Amino acid sequence: MKTIILLARHGETEWNLEHRLQGHKNSPLTNTGRQQAELLRNSLGDHTICAIYTSPLGRAVETATIVAGQFGLDPVARDGIREINLGPWEGKTRAETEASYPEAYQKFWCDQENFCLEGAEDYHHLEKRVVDEIEKLFRENNGKTVLVVSHWIAIKTIVAHYLGLGLNGIDQVEDLPNGQFVTLENSDGVVIL
């Protein structure tokens, strides 16, 4: 039996425009971000969505809520699909972060296996957390199609895992634009994209 997760990225936020790292902090969706959520909703019209799950962070919840109206569903928050915790980097611009933490910054983008920053989550923990949650959602929704609204780095980590790329393959995964989704299809325990 086939189980499908439509894994979507939240709409554009104010901090996306400012090139600020959000992590567990939040900034509101822009008007464009709300329009992206509406376009996401419209693009799902051919799917029979049985449930909508979202990260508990406001930008994902707002995106999921905009989408949910069409399906008569209430989004269910799942902490496991929250974005990576970036600790002291959250709210800072990429340029500020690179200037203050040049070695860690380089590892964050290009050597995820060895990224380590005090007060932040490493990629090993992130991968375990998000993949465990996706596996739970597959089990809980056997034979159904569900929407999962998550975040940029969390999604790249999930995709890299199921493509068998490992942590240092995350940078090979194409960035998913705001308000777009990728399909994960589980048939008899084998997940394909």
pLDDT band at 175 (very low <50, low <70, confident <90, very high): very high
Q: What is the mean pLDDT of the chain?
A: 96
Q: Is residue 27 over pLDDT 90?
A: yes
The reported pLDDT for the residue numbered 70 is 86
Total-model pTM: 0.96
The reported pLDDT for the residue numbered 1 is 84
- Mind spelling out the 3-state secondary structure of the chain? CEEEEEEEECCCEHHHHCCECCCCCCCCECHHHHHHHHHHHHHCCCCCCCEEEECCCHHHHHHHHHHHHHHCCCCEECHHHCCCCCHHHCCCEHHHHHHHCHHHHHHHHHCHHHCCCCCCCCHHHHHHHHHHHHHHHHHHCCCCEEEEEECHHHHHHHHHHHHCCCHHHHHHCCCCCCCCEEEEEEECCEEEC
pLDDT band at 188 (very low <50, low <70, confident <90, very high): confident
Q: Is residue 113 over pLDDT 90?
A: yes
The reported pLDDT for the residue numbered 92 is 97
> Can you read off the two tokens belonging to residue 40?
């996401």
- The residues assigned a catalytic role are 10, 83
pLDDT in tens, 33-87: 999 999 999 999 889 999 999 999 999 999 999 999 889 999 999 999 999 999 9
> Can you read off the two tokens belonging to residue 121?
């989550």
pLDDT in tens, 115-133: 999 999 999 999 999 999 9
The reported pLDDT for the residue numbered 46 is 86
